[in-house]
Structure 1
């Protein structure tokens, strides 16, 4: 900002306001002041300049005229008596200085219009009005009446109404024509203005009304008020009582009542929506540009009131945002590039309570608008990401348009949960606390190795203040109004440099100075977040390795930089569980070291491939029905805890450790748990709705009972509070949900209680001992991980089991070639032709052969990074693979038939390091 030019502008503005002899020219395109000559402003610089100009003017008049408060104590206000008498030029220079140091502004300030004792404006479209008896002059003059809400500078002198024509820009209509004296918009007024515009093809009255309402928060907050219905027979007393009750609701401090007060006696959201739907009938080119400018000005004024003066009422701010986001699609790029970023910038300054009110209002009264709001924010983020060339010096985390839109999307995210089906927060699993086992030697030397400080405490992401204010948790969202995956932004997820974002994330936790998208995980895909989790786990592994080496240096213990397991293939379960049990008992922190597996009697260095095979073999045996720890549901192809298992709690704890180690070491397992297991692992108990994927036949039967309305339910279902289920051997087991349950029949009055108790017993109480041990083992590995903060239960399932999308076209596109092969080599073409024709089971075998796992990684096969290397000319050898590095060694066979024969033999009969 040029201080000299701003001084001149403020000085010119003062001269214009204090003189009645100077008239503003009708066409002043050459003037430099945007207040005197309304010009079309575009871009962020003009927006910031306009906002700065408004603040400087407010300081200017505060220094000259004061705020009108006789008891004012602001040293920068004329009303306080502390400010020295200044000339207009001195006040202009001082105002600029006060702007730069963000000096105090009084709560009230005079508008930049001639101060008069009476000011009567015609509410019609005329641009002139009669002004009587100004403080500067007693002469009656006909002056231009300009709304203080619309312009930064006074425009004086005679003026006439410009004719409605296409050559008059919407910006001029918006800024120079007279308005409706601050009257708020109503549904009927919008109808009238739209009909007039459609009939006369003159959009100026509509533009003026929208411009006046949408530039000042105080006016916009009074728009579309709900009409108070008064009974004609009740008299004035009843009306007065209704007004008192309305005011009492508005002043209530109870959050729920606040929501009702905003939606009930004040803002009529449905009326606002109908009005804007009618507005959409008018061609958007008539008003879109002016409305974009108005919304931008509104956002700037709200930001000033929220950030600097702090005088804006919270309810008014909420209503302004609700109305602003009910505006229909304007169909112009300026909205996404200028107005929407400005609104996001203003929303950043909403206090937490106001954000909570906005989320509740959107959830309760604007469900149909959530899709539009979300799509608009996604468009803004996507547009910025794909059109900006980010570098290591200007990351996407530095782009305010993206980050502020993400912050506003968080409010929409919580509103989306509240608008859907929420379960009570009472259904929470008891938290499991693992004893702190920090190493004294490691702690003493942490200052020498900053990287290891992550291990010192649970520096996981703190609870979100907005979530606390709303008392909402993603685990309680049984069915959000919009699917959670609609909040993913794939272009953003693909653009983020996760190493930088992860560093910002750890910094954000400690001092809150860096923006990190990991703090807003709803916008990132599971594949992108899994990379952040990978960095977290790897740093912890290096930290544990360093501590182990420090022990060796001082002779405290032999070096154990890795979690090393040595097992026999023939006794893999016994060996693995015994060794893991010893580690868990002696020093549980060793579980956070990098896993290294060695098969006894086999040569090989574990660079990842051996560990994959180890987990694959362990899972195959543990979940075998003959082992007896889990039962299999034939209908859903899932496994469940055996409540009558003969195995000890320690065995289930070790199974939980295996699952945690798989996530910690970035290994995908072939397990088939129902979703309720992952919900319970994250801390949410199973409920009736979880039966849908656990046992759909039972779920449908109980749902039919709930929906049955006949009075003969007792005779139709003949069900008591005694239930029967089968153990692993098929024997029936009876259980009374209540005392003497066999004598209590299910009726219309108690059927809901029966269903809830039935589900609670099957999913929680019957396996309480087994699951608690299993979860404890899982938490022993993941307790310091941000797993719960970053991932929802369905995303945790993807982490464990991988993606279910076996798209080998993606694998072909992402595959790299080496040793002389290219994508155009005939052998490669034949290879992919064979692969695409294979059934799914053989495709799984191919993945198992080349990568050590038959599961698709998080994000799909495009993230697998397979390498096919030439392994010599045509020969009779079979293809081989380095599973640690996802490398397939393929000889250049002379024919497609020979390639298919050798490939099928290799993937069908190979296991470990030899042929079976």
Structure 2
């Protein structure tokens, strides 16, 4: 269907079914109490179609279809935020020139740990995750907190449930519309990370043992917003604080995972370097170099989190370096032994030759003396 055909179809739907908004004031919409048409026109679909064409030519106000939005909202809740469903949602928002549904979907997913971490899963994990309900207490309520368990994922191994390539494609698609979603991403991450910070203090073992937990760091590191000045002093700081306050075992697993699975470690490092740079500039703005102030750069709020995060990425970079196999190492060891033995033999031959030459010179010196 052409773009014009889609517009006409929307006018037709608006005349027959309305937009679903009980407060609608559009006289050309069936949902409005001020609907200008005699309802008998609805019995003749040809007349409705002709009127829809006329309205499209006159560019009459076209409502946002609340019924369609509800349908898509329900679909988003059912389906994972896959590349296909995300593209469908974006196309829908483009067609109606309204990004509210995309922003609401982002908020629902990115502001909730369980919703976010149940997305972008590998196929063999998505169908076999066991849900284990536990309870967390808060100051105001006792909401349920869910932790996902799978015997294939432990702190001791290097397995992860995340389909990294699929996640990267979806995040890239999503961030190509950053002008429409950046504020929602900021708001959602603020809610998510504060929730995580609380859980890390109260249920650290359960959280770190969650089969999907480490997916979060790959997803957030993939967001270009981490280097955005609007995110650096709150969202990024909170994120790096959570990362660097994990247990030693969890930090070790993060380092191993990054070294094993990511091929864009430089992007992660760039995020943290940008973070440290802007915090250093902020420190310089309120500390004069010539002053006697004993306030060090390391004391700048947020600097410790950035430095510690960079240290973890440095370890991951070392671990990801190309390492020789045991067979190659053993071959090199044997070759080194052969080389050492050969050097010893050469040195011995050299010493023997030197001794022979010395003896020959002594004999040559004795001959003239004997003749005299």
Query: Which residue of structure 1 lines up, in the alignment, with residue 67 of structure 2?
Result: none
Matched, 1:385 2:286: no
**Partner SS, residue 124 of structure 2:** coil
Distance 1:126 1:343, change over 3 A: farther
Distance 1:302 1:194 in 2: 29
CA distance in 2, matches of 1:276, 1:224: 10
Query: What is aligned with 1:322?
Result: 218
1:414-458 Cα shifts (integer Å, max 9, x gaps): 21122221358x9xxxxxxxxxxxxxxxxxxxxxxxxxxxxxxxx
Q: Paired residue for 2:334?
A: 757
Q: Number of aligned residue pairs: give it.
A: 250
Aligned to 2:172: 277
Partner of 2:243: 347
One of 100, 109, 118 as aligned partner of 1:222: 118
CA distance in 2, matches of 1:312, 1:126: 42
1:298 correspondence with 2:195: no
Supply the distance in 1 between the matched residues of 2:179 and 2:199 (Cα, whole angstroms): 31
1:582-602 Cα shifts (integer Å, max 9, x gaps): xxxxxxxxxxxxxxxxxxxxx
Cα distance in 1, alignment partners of residues 20 and 246 from structure 2: 38
In the alignment, structure 1 residue 376 sits paired with structure 2 residue 293: no
Q: Deviation of residue 349 (structure 1)? A: 2.2
1:330 to partner: Cα distance: 7.0
Q: How does 1:782-801 map to 2 (within 5 A)?
A: none
Offset, 1:274: 1.1
Relative distance call for 1:762 and 1:338 in structure 2 (3 A) is farther
Long gaps (5+) in structure 2: 1-18, 23-62, 65-72, 129-148, 345-372
Show the counterpart of 2:109: 213
Q: Secondary structure at the match of 1:317?
A: coil
Summarize the Cα distance change of 1:752–1:393 in structure 2 as closer, same or farther, 3 Å threshold.
Answer: closer
Where in structure 2 are the equivalents of 1:87-102 lying within 5 Å? none
Does the CA contact (< 8 Å) of 2:226 and 2:236 recur in 1? Answer: no
Deviations 1:501-554 (A, max 9, x none): xxxxxxxxxxxxxxxxxxxxxxxxxxxxxxxxxxxxxxxxxxxxxxxxxxxxxx
CA distance in 2, matches of 1:755, 1:377: 38
Tell me, in whole angstroms, the C-alpha distance in 1 between the residues paired with 2:195 and 2:302: 18
Higher helix share: 2
Instruction: Give distance in 1, aligned partners of 2:339 and 2:94.
Output: 64
Q: Larger % of strand: which?
A: 1
Cα distance in 2 for residues equivalent to 1:754 and 1:332: 50
CA distance in 1, matches of 2:316, 2:200: 22
Cα distance between partner residues in 2 of 1:302 and 1:339: 12
- Distance apart, 1:394 and its partner CA: 3.2
Please list the CA deviations of residues 111-160 of structure 1 after superposition, one character each: whole Å capped at 9, or x if unmatched. Answer: xxxxxxxxxxxxxx9899xxxxxxxxxxxxxxxxxxxxxxxxxxxxxxxx
Change (3 A) 1:201 1:761: farther
Identify the residue that residue 196 of structure 1 maps to in structure 2: 92
In the TM superposition, what is the alpha-carbon distance from 1:338 to its structure 2 partner? Answer: 2.1
Alignment of 1:327-726 (within 5 A): 327-329=223-225, 332-368=228-264, 370-388=265-283, 389-390=286-287, 392-422=293-323
Q: Distance in 2 between matches of 1:330 and 1:361?
A: 20
Q: CA RMSD in A?
A: 3.7
1:641-694 deviation line (CA, Å, top 9, x unaligned): xxxxxxxxxxxxxxxxxxxxxxxxxxxxxxxxxxxxxxxxxxxxxxxxxxxxxx
Judge conservation of contact 1:182–1:219 (CA < 8 Å) in 2. Answer: no
C-alpha change, 1:755 and 1:357, in structure 2 (3 Å) is closer
User: Any idea what SS the aligned residue of 2:233 has?
Assistant: helix
| 1:853-892 → structure 2 map (5 Å cutoff) | none
Task: Map 1:17-96 to 2 at 5 A.
Answer: none
